[in-house]
Amino acid sequence: MRLRSEIIGCGGYLPERIVTNAELARSLDTSDDWIVQRTGIRQRHIAAEGELCSDLARRAAQRALAAAGVTGAELDLIVLATTTPDNTFPATATKVQAQLGMTGGCAFDVQAVCSGFVYALAVADNFIKAGQARTALVIGSETFSRILDWHDRSTCVLFGDGAGALVLRAAPAQGPGDRGVLSTHLHSDGRDYPMLYVDGGPSSTQTTGSVRMDGREVFRNAVHRLAEAVDEALAANRLTAADIDWLVPHQANRRIIDSIGRKLGLSAEKVVVTIDRHANTSAASIPLALAEAAGDGRIRAGQLVLIEAMGGGLTWGASLLRW
């Protein structure tokens, strides 16, 4: 029997503390005007001291499980996308597994930076399609504030902390009109490694390091590579941009989001935007945006949702979901 992954629940969590652009401008040579005009960001949430990636992940997961009506014990797979794990090892997913009361199956982390959620979703969807998992939790959780150089205005104003999660369940594939993950499309090109990286790590410096980015080059790549991935996802499902109900993009820069929306000919109301309030939460941005738009009733059952992201590696990808 052919299988598909149904989406049965979704949840998000943001740390309590909000830091505005004006607050950053008090200690940094920047301004609210510059940040808003160049990025669309107005504020970001920052994790409290001692609040870890696993804490954000657990809270988002609990909300997603509650929405799905599923207990942690019923899960047989957790794939957690993060660049900012609690520890170098073990996988943060295993800590969350224990906290949720899941004792069987397997839990592991996936690292594809800002594309992490699309990667994690692809892994979980393929586990389900292969019959290797029945009920899967896909999480994107980040404490990016911990790997920022707070003296580098070209990067530190861009990111925020948060987590989002999706619960998937195996169901028989019946054909066109099926709800769930329709397809996932992943890419990477390691030649662009130096374009966006962290200048530390266990094998190189034995320090955590800070984010370094050639923002202009990343921007240029994002615009054309994301457009290609989106076209690929639509073509694979014999759909066109006119079929899309919602574009839920990774939230890195408002100008990148607008450019993809324009290329697809989508009206602004069909694009879910959270960057103004969340900033770039890396692997968490898409599930946070999905949780917000599904939670407030914008995304409804049966609608077609396109997600896309690009991040360090470079990595990028897109996926079509029938909600």
Query: Which positions touch ligand UT7 (CB under 6 A)?
Result: 30, 34-35, 38-39, 114, 153-154, 157, 215-216, 218-219, 222, 252-253, 256, 280, 310-311
Give the nearest distance from C-beta 252 to ligand UT7 in angstroms.
3
- Does 87 participate in catalysis according to the annotation? no
Q: Distance (Å, rounded) from C-alpha 208 to C-alpha 230?
A: 34
Tokens coding 69: 């009506």
- Does 156 participate in catalysis according to the annotation? no
Tokens coding 84: 């900012």
| Closer by beta carbon to ligand UT7, 152 or else 245 | 152
- The size of the chain, in residues, is 323
Query: What amino acid is encoded at 201 in this protein?
Result: G
Tokens coding 290: 């999905």
Q: Distance (Å, rounded) from C-alpha 304 to C-alpha 240?
A: 11
Residue located via tokens 């609990």: 62
Give the nearest distance from C-beta 219 to ligand UT7 in angstroms.
4
Catalytic residue among 114, 221, 253, 278: 114
In the chain, the largest separation of any two C-alpha atoms, in whole Å, equals: 60
Tokens coding 270: 């069909």
Bridge partners (DSSP) of residue 169 are 6, 135
Give the nearest distance from C-beta 112 to ligand UT7 in angstroms.
11
Q: Distance (Å, rounded) from C-alpha 291 to C-alpha 282?
A: 15
Please give the full DSSP string across 190-245, using - where no structure is assigned.
GGGGGGEEES-BTTTTSB---EEE-HHHHHHHHHHHHHHHHHHHHHHTT--GGG-S
- Does 114 participate in catalysis according to the annotation? yes
Q: Distance (Å, rounded) from C-alpha 276 to C-alpha 284?
A: 15
User: Helix 53-68 to helix 285-295 angle, to the nearest 10 degrees?
Assistant: 30
| Closer by beta carbon to ligand UT7, 36 or else 70 | 36
Give the nearest distance from C-beta 86 to ligand UT7 in angstroms.
22
Catalytic residue among 45, 185, 250, 278: 250
| Closer by beta carbon to ligand UT7, 179 or else 250 | 250
Residue nearest to ligand UT7 (CB): 215
| Closer by beta carbon to ligand UT7, 14 or else 279 | 279
Tokens coding 42: 């107005």
Give the nearest distance from C-beta 165 to ligand UT7 in angstroms.
19
Just list the catalytic residues. 114, 250, 280
